[in-house]
A and B are shown apart, each in its own frame.
Chain A
């Protein structure tokens, strides 16, 4: 399997996980279990206590030691057989009724352990990933689009538009975002619906994030404009629209894709900072940023490393995004090269086919 295929596979896997979050998560993201704080990840066993093999895996549940905080007995864990495809519901919360891929009788399996309030890390990871990706992908998409438009116009439309747009970019970079974020928070009502919170989060990220890529794209557009093939096209009477569409945009697209793939992880990290201002996601909603912010202390690293699981989940995801962005950028611009060949047409062929006619 080639790298792009691996990357595609990873993306599809994550997409499935997040699209069917209610199925893959084992409990609502905010369901607390005060009896099981900081429970280490629970292991699966295929053998009974007497050593017999069972096809149905069992969950090895360690019992809390009474009188101690977050201490779990290491001897003789109770083996609880897993049930698959169960409809579960948290007590007193009809909204949490969902078909779950797996459950245990009268409880919740904690495959990735629990956090300080006994909330299931796996379920938070799944629900949090959904929100995080929704926010950071849409914010990165919006930021790249704006950056592409501004960079393109600045690089192509002439010196007046260039200097006007670049002053705008510089102004945007120079804005003291700390105070602006405080002001935005002060303008918003304290009580925000989850949808509004996510939208504000994405908007703020895009508003902060577009300026630097715009500068880079403007540089690329500028140099492409002065390149010999554009001069040639212009000399042959190509319309500005034609040059923009078939010469400049293909030159900028790989760069824009790379900028996009750089922005996504940046925005996941930025979400932690936004939560600090009260602009991000907060309880009962969860995101990877919220999970990471809660794990930013020594004891999480030393004692409860499973709280770091968003990091391990992010690495393959960002790897896949980078690989695919890189691949599409280098193979042929503005295409989805990881899809089967007959699913798309290569615009480059079109360009090659068209140019000789005009000559």
Chain B
């Protein structure tokens, strides 16, 4: 199990206390190059099948209810969205909608839908399906996880059918990056689901027991069969609406076989033995052994560069922790000092973490905004280089003194604290060991405490009984809105000081203000300036140390063209329709 939080699940969900400032906004029109369905400039070879794996069995085939990774991976292949974020450029592009138009005040989105598109059972796709789908997502009775995503300031987005191929979405307030909300929201077939919803609940629809003929979607694949405990097989959707440059219908590959392999080592062995064509998630150290094992067929490593996930050292800045012993109050007093946190940052060899823990497949970080958010990382901030003299200078300025090999505070207490790490996570335990080693250079006695994951989590989020902790977080989106719950002082991932009724410090209040302001600004440059400021404040205050961001690694047969790891769901399988086997 990986100690990994996603800021908001499902991804791109946004916790929104919105400011109601109304800005006059320019109208913008985004459209595909032409109305034609010929959307992919690619020449691949049709045919063949692909063997992939899932870590667990999917819990449902219903895209509205899919919350676990396996269900989301499968439903992503079965369904399509109106607008889609291009994973390569991080821009919103038309998908089932052929174009979209934003009103002058930024509150209304008009989408023109593609005509002559069919569901995988052959029935046509119209605006009625879109209105039906959004009603399902927004109906409080169905409790869809995506509902929160479509609430802005507590009010739902309104959906109106304008014509058979045109829909309008009205937002209660202008909302930056509203177009990104559509990504991943599957459009459901009204003709199949609406009659059943009168008599049954949503949770009963499209379970794993549903016959494949009763399930239809707009995605590149449709369900062929499901064998409990063994496999789930998808077949090519003959009605899929995308074509390649030569006019061939996508997808290229006829069949996708998902087998269920619960263990990473077992997955690697099956991949090496040729039973799997694709390994969706790979750790840095397993690549070399994979290569040594797969002697039969050539494989290639897919390095997608840094993703949205990053490792951090969290300081316990929680105001009052009743359950803690007196020594802990002392420790927390040190962490409250900004120069102390800055000095710790200057002691960390981030390059050593990159090299030793991730075998050079990671990047050092200055802020939690990883390079995957390419538009948003503040270019003026750089990861701190280790500088022990400067760190000691900062410490002596704050009243600490180095005597012999030991650091003492103003009252003469020896500086020591514990670093929690999840014992099941090798990378994080390794980082904790390296950090303890680095802090020893400042005369600090840091002790690594490995804990079982649930107790680890309980201490960080519930009892707040810890000094520092190494953990991983992952933003929900490349857009700043995917980081709201981390930045806002009342956010549920504001882990260094949870549950603040009021911002505890002036700089946290300032971050709250800037983050809320950027929500409603739709001008990119203005938003960037606001977010740059948030990152500068963070880099100065360092409520936690952003350490490194590991690369997104995957492996595939050398002859399989198409897969590229991407930070957003469903990762590498996002462009599954364009995968093909090279001859």
Is the C-beta of B321 less than 8 angstroms from some C-beta in chain A?
no
CB atoms of B451 and A278 under 8 A apart: yes
- Complex partner residue of A275 from B285, B292, B423, CB under 8 angstroms: B423
Shortest distance between the CB of B32 and any CB in chain A (Å): 44
Is the C-beta of B424 less than 8 angstroms from some C-beta in chain A?
yes
Q: Which of the candidate stretches A44-52, A163-171, A182-190 sits at the interface with the other chain?
A: A182-190
Is the C-beta of A117 less than 8 angstroms from some C-beta in chain B?
yes
CB atoms of A191 and B455 under 8 A apart: no
- Complex partner residue of A303 from B289, B355, B430, CB under 8 angstroms: B289
Closest B residue by C-beta to A30: B437
Cα A191 to Cα B448 with chains together (Å): 9
Cα A301 to Cα B349 with chains together (Å): 29
CB atoms of A299 and B289 under 8 A apart: yes
Chain A residues, CB < 8 A from B455: 182, 185-186, 277-278
- Complex partner residue of A278 from B356, B436, B441, B450, CB under 8 angstroms: B450
CB atoms of A298 and B265 under 8 A apart: yes
CB atoms of A283 and B265 under 8 A apart: no
- Interface positions, chain A 22-40, Cβ under 8 Å from B, are 30, 32, 34, 37
With A190-B420, A277-B423, A278-B423 as given contacts, are A283 and B467 in contact (CB-CB < 8 Å)? no
CB atoms of B448 and A32 under 8 A apart: no
Cα A92 to Cα B467 with chains together (Å): 26
- Interface positions, chain A 283-324, Cβ under 8 Å from B, are 283-284, 294, 297-299, 301-303
CB atoms of B449 and A190 under 8 A apart: yes
- Complex partner residue of B436 from A116, A118, A186, A284, CB under 8 angstroms: A284
Cα A275 to Cα B349 with chains together (Å): 26
- Interface positions, chain B 430-475, Cβ under 8 Å from A, are 430, 432-434, 436-437, 441, 447-452, 454-455, 465-467
CB atoms of B450 and A191 under 8 A apart: no
Mask: chain A, 80-109; 1 = CB below 8 Å from B; 0 = not: 000000000000111000000000000000
Is the C-beta of B325 less than 8 angstroms from some C-beta in chain A?
yes
Shortest distance between the CB of B427 and any CB in chain A (Å): 10
Chain B residues, CB < 8 A from A275: 423, 450
With A34-B352, A117-B356, A283-B436 as given contacts, are A298 and B268 in contact (CB-CB < 8 Å)? yes
Cα A278 to Cα B453 with chains together (Å): 10
Chain A residues within 8 Å of chain B by Cβ, number: 32
CB atoms of B448 and A190 under 8 A apart: no
Shortest distance between the CB of A149 and any CB in chain B (Å): 33
Is the C-beta of A282 less than 8 angstroms from some C-beta in chain B?
yes
Is the C-beta of B35 less than 8 angstroms from some C-beta in chain A?
no
Closest A residue by C-beta to B455: A182
Closest A residue by C-beta to B263: A298
Chain A residues, CB < 8 A from B450: 275-276, 278, 282
CB atoms of A190 and B466 under 8 A apart: yes
Chain A residues, CB < 8 A from B449: 190-191, 278, 282
Shortest distance between the CB of A141 and any CB in chain B (Å): 27
Cα A294 to Cα B434 with chains together (Å): 15
Chain B residues, CB < 8 A from A117: 356, 430, 433-434, 437
Choose among A116, A185, A283, A301 the residue with the greatest number of B CB atoms under 10 Å from its CB: A283
- Interface positions, chain B 356-370, Cβ under 8 Å from A, are 356-357, 359-360
- Complex partner residue of B452 from A70, A278, A297, CB under 8 angstroms: A278
Chain B residues, CB < 8 A from A69: 355, 359-360
Chain A residues, CB < 8 A from B264: 298
CB atoms of A303 and B292 under 8 A apart: yes
Closest B residue by C-beta to A35: B355
Shortest distance between the CB of B275 and any CB in chain A (Å): 16
Is the C-beta of B426 less than 8 angstroms from some C-beta in chain A?
yes
Shortest distance between the CB of B341 and any CB in chain A (Å): 20
- Complex partner residue of B293 from A189, A282, A283, A302, CB under 8 angstroms: A302
- Complex partner residue of B292 from A30, A34, A302, CB under 8 angstroms: A302
Is the C-beta of B92 less than 8 angstroms from some C-beta in chain A?
no
Chain A residues engaging chain B, CB cutoff 8 angstroms:
30, 32, 34, 37, 69-70, 92-94, 116-118, 182, 185-186, 189-191, 275-278, 282-284, 294, 297-299, 301-303
Interface contacts beyond A117-B356, A190-B467, A298-B286: sample of 20 additional A-B pairs, CB < 8 Å, sorted by A: A32-B434, A37-B355, A69-B359, A92-B405, A93-B405, A116-B285, A118-B356, A182-B452, A185-B455, A190-B449, A190-B466, A191-B416, A275-B450, A282-B448, A282-B450, A284-B436, A294-B426, A298-B269, A299-B289, A303-B288
Query: Can you list 6 A-B pairs with a CB-CB distance of less than 8 A?
Result: A30-B437, A69-B360, A190-B420, A277-B452, A297-B426, A302-B293
The 10 closest A-B pairs by CB, nearest first: A302-B289, A299-B289, A69-B359, A278-B451, A298-B265, A299-B285, A283-B448, A190-B418, A283-B433, A276-B423
Chain B residues engaging chain A, CB cutoff 8 angstroms:
264-265, 268-269, 285-286, 288-289, 292-293, 325, 327, 349, 352, 355-357, 359-360, 405, 416-418, 420, 423-424, 426, 430, 432-434, 436-437, 441, 447-452, 454-455, 465-467
